[in-house]
Structures are given as C-alpha cells and as structure tokens.
C-alpha cells in the first residue's frame, strides 16, 4: 500500500483492510471481488491480485508465512526486496532490504553522485550486504529499519533535515554541500488527458441497467469496472451518432468535470447522462457498445485481444458491489448520491437525429 501512496492516505485503507482480513486465512479464503473492493482507490491493482494469490499459495503450501529466503522468493508477487523486508521485520532475521530511501542515505553519506539511479541502487545493495552484521546478536534488522526510517523522515529527497541527522558528522554530501544533487526527487511528466464519459442507462426504474467495461483479471486494470469513455474532442460526433441509435441525453442532469491524477497523467472526465431505448436491458449489448465506442482511432480494438475489457449491461443495484478505477468511482459516487435518489430519467431528444 505504501509503495506509491503517502502514509496519511494509506492509514484508513490499512485499518479497514486489517479489519476485513486480519490473518492469512481470511485473505486467502476471500473472493477476488471482495479483495479488489477493499483495495479500491489505491491503484496498482495487480499488486492486490498478487497479494491475494500469494496468501492462497502460502496457505496451500506451508499454512503460515515461511521465513527462508528461497521459500519467500517462490511466492507469487514477492521479489528480493519484499522477501528481505519480511525476513527482517517479521522474523528479525538478516535481510538486505534496500529501498529508494536506503539507497539515498547510503549514496549521500558516501558522496556517490556520478551514477544513474539504477547504478546507485545496485551499489547501495552491495554496500549494505557487505556491511550488515551476519551475527543475529547484533540485530541486523534494526539497522535495516533505521536506514529506511532515516531515508523516509530525515534524509528526504527534497529538504533533507541534515541538522537533525545522526550521520551528519560522517556524511560526504553534507560536508561538500551536495545533498540536493544526489538522488533529488524524480521529475514526473504529467500529461493532461480529457475524456468524455457518456453514462448510458437503460430506462426501467430499479431494473435500470448501466453499460460498463470490465477489465480482464490479467490486464493492467485487472478486475476493475469503468464507464465507457472516448476522447473529449469526439463528443459531438459521438452524440450525433448516438442519437441515431436511440441514445438520448438527459438534459436536466449535469456533472462538473472530475479530475483524477494517475502516475503519468492527469485525467479530466466529462461525464454526461444518457438514456437508452431498450426494453430488454440485458445483453446482447456488445454490438451497441462496439458501434458507439469504436468511432475513434484511440478506441479501436486493441492489438492484444485477450487484454480488451468486456462491455456489458449491469443492473444498477449491483454497482455498489463492484470495484471501479479511481476516477470512475468518483462518477459513480455522484450518480448514486445526486442522481439515483428516486428520480426517473426523462430523455431529451434535443440532439438532431
């Protein structure tokens, strides 16, 4: 949870997660949908799936988390860093857990400034491996934990608190005033992306159905639901096409644009509500989706067919149990809190046919 998200954001998720899955058994025996729902909003869903698979794997094979490195490394989703961290924190064994924080402390202390991030990381790993005590009586795990904490709280990527640092006397970067030049924060190039999100709802009160994409479990957004969307620039073209196929805007309902930041882009989602003339709302609906959403080059069928999300109608009453990607979850929240409060939609046929 902490790998890409700040601790203050993670805390409520972590507490809820631990209440739902307090031990290995409860996590391993939970359905994937329940696990994904508990993680919803944190992103990087492939990690959730691997965590879940890992719990099942451990339970099947050993019944409890193993402590040997080779066993830990055989668990799906566990690499050298996680294996070392588990050995160190859970079992108080020697584990060379070198994350970005530790690499930064070592590189600054020793004044390494000419290498790339990857080279520094590799070198820091060798350095820690060489110097970390092998004798358990010297508590090597304390040194590992202290280095991680020092990097996270004192030797920060920007604004290092050198005056409070216990390594100040020996730190080359501090002495030579090179602190901010060694492993400064990464510069993220955030791309703005504007998407039009037509919320297609079939008429029919509580039996209303909503058109949704569902990403296959092995894809990047594995297991998540999203409303269909297209580039904003294609909105008017799409609306014209939609009106010829019995899809009409609900003109009395409007949504403010929703912005959501991902690692590499900032998406602004422009949602609008549409009703679909459909007396029998459950499939076949794929043809409707294919016709309506493959108008743009960007949304043409992907090369890897197996990773394409499936498009289908879902009962409105089921949506609360689904896991949505973060931006689309905000749209669902608006739909549920502001629109689906007992009102029935009235379609506007304002768009020319």
Report the interface residues with ligand SF4, using CB under 6 A.
105, 108-109, 154-155, 160, 162, 165, 167-168, 171, 173-174, 179
Minimum CB distance to ligand SF4 smaller for 55 or for 154: 154
Minimum CB distance to ligand SF4 smaller for 114 or for 206: 114
Minimum CB distance to ligand SF4 smaller for 127 or for 345: 127
Minimum CB distance to ligand SF4 smaller for 87 or for 104: 104
Residues linked to residue 261 through DSSP beta bridges, in sequence order? 266
CB 208 within 8 A of CB 201: yes
Minimum CB distance to ligand SF4 smaller for 124 or for 271: 124
Burial class (CB in 10 A: 0-12, 13-18, 19+), 305: exposed
Tokens describing residue 123 = 């070198």
Nearest to 195 by CA among 260, 108, 279: 260
Q: What is the distance of C-alpha 319 from the center of its chain?
A: 20
Minimum CB distance to ligand SF4 smaller for 88 or for 147: 147
Q: Whole-number minimum distance, CB 106 to ligand SF4, in Å? A: 9
Tokens describing residue 152 = 């996270």
Q: Whole-number minimum distance, CB 172 to ligand SF4, in Å? A: 8
Q: Whole-number minimum distance, CB 96 to ligand SF4, in Å? A: 19
Q: Whole-number minimum distance, CB 146 to ligand SF4, in Å? A: 12
Backbone angle region of 205, left / alpha / beta, with phi > 0 → left and psi within -120 to 50 → alpha:
left
Contacts (Cβ under 8 Å, ≥6 apart) of 272? 196, 197, 198, 199, 249, 253, 254, 255
Which secondary-structure segment (H or E) carries 172?
helix 172-175
Q: Whole-number minimum distance, CB 65 to ligand SF4, in Å? A: 33
Task: Assign 53 to helix, strand or coil.
Answer: helix
**CA angle at 97 for the pair 95 and 103, rounded to the nearest 5°:** 140
Q: Whole-number minimum distance, CB 7 to ligand SF4, in Å? A: 19
Tokens describing residue 154 = 């004192």
Q: Whole-number minimum distance, CB 81 to ligand SF4, in Å? A: 21
Minimum CB distance to ligand SF4 smaller for 134 or for 186: 186
Q: Whole-number minimum distance, CB 333 to ligand SF4, in Å? A: 41
End-to-end, the C-alpha distance of the chain in Å comes to 49
Which secondary-structure segment (H or E) carries 83?
helix 80-85
Minimum CB distance to ligand SF4 smaller for 16 or for 175: 175
Minimum CB distance to ligand SF4 smaller for 32 or for 180: 180
Q: Whole-number minimum distance, CB 185 to ligand SF4, in Å? A: 14
Q: Report the alpha-carbon distance of residue 312 to residue 37 in Å, rounded.
A: 20
Contacts (Cβ under 8 Å, ≥6 apart) of 120? 103, 107, 112, 183
């Amino acid at each position: 949870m902490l790998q890409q998200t700040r601790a203050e954001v993670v805390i409520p998720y972590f507490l809820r997660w631990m209440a739902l899955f307090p031990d290995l058994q409860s996590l391993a025996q939970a359905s994937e949908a329940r696990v994904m729902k508990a993680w919803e909003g944190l992103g990087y869903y492939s990690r959730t799936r691997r965590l879940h698979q890992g719990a099942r794997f451990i339970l099947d094979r050993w019944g409890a988390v193993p402590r040997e490195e080779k066993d830990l490394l055989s668990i799906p989703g566990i690499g050298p860093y996680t294996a070392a961290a588990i050995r160190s924190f859970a079992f108080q064994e020697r584990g060379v857990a070198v994350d970005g924080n530790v690499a930064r402390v070592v590189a600054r202390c020793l004044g390494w400034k000419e290498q790339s991030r990857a080279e520094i990381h590799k070198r820091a790993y060798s350095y820690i491996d060489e110097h970390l005590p092998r004798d358990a009586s010297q508590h090597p795990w304390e040194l590992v934990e202290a280095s991680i904490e020092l990097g996270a709280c004192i030797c920060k990527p920007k604004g290092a608190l050198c005056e409070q640092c216990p390594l100040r006397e020996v730190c080359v970067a501090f002495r030579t005033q090179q602190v901010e030049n060694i492993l400064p924060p990464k510069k993220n190039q955030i791309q703005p992306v504007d998407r039009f999100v037509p919320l297609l709802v079939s008429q029919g009160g509580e039996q209303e159905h909503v058109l949704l994409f569902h990403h296959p479990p092995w894809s990047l957004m594995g297991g998540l639901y999203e409303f269909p969307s297209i580039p904003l620039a294609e909105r008017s073209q799409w609306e014209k096409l939609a009106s010829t196929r019995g899809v009409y805007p609900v003109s009395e309902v409007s949504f403010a644009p929703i912005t959501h930041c991902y690692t590499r882009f900032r998406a602004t989602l422009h949602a609008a509500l549409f009703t679909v003339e459909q007396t029998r709302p459950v499939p076949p609906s794929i043809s409707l989706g294919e016709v309506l959403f493959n108008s743009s080059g960007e949304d043409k069928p992907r090369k890897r067919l197996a990773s394409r999300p499936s498009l289908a109608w879902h009962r409105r009453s089921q949506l609360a149990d689904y896991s949505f990607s973060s931006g689309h979850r905000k749209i669902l929240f608006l739909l549920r809190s502001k629109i689906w409060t007992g009102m029935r939609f009235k379609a506007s046929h304002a768009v020319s046919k």
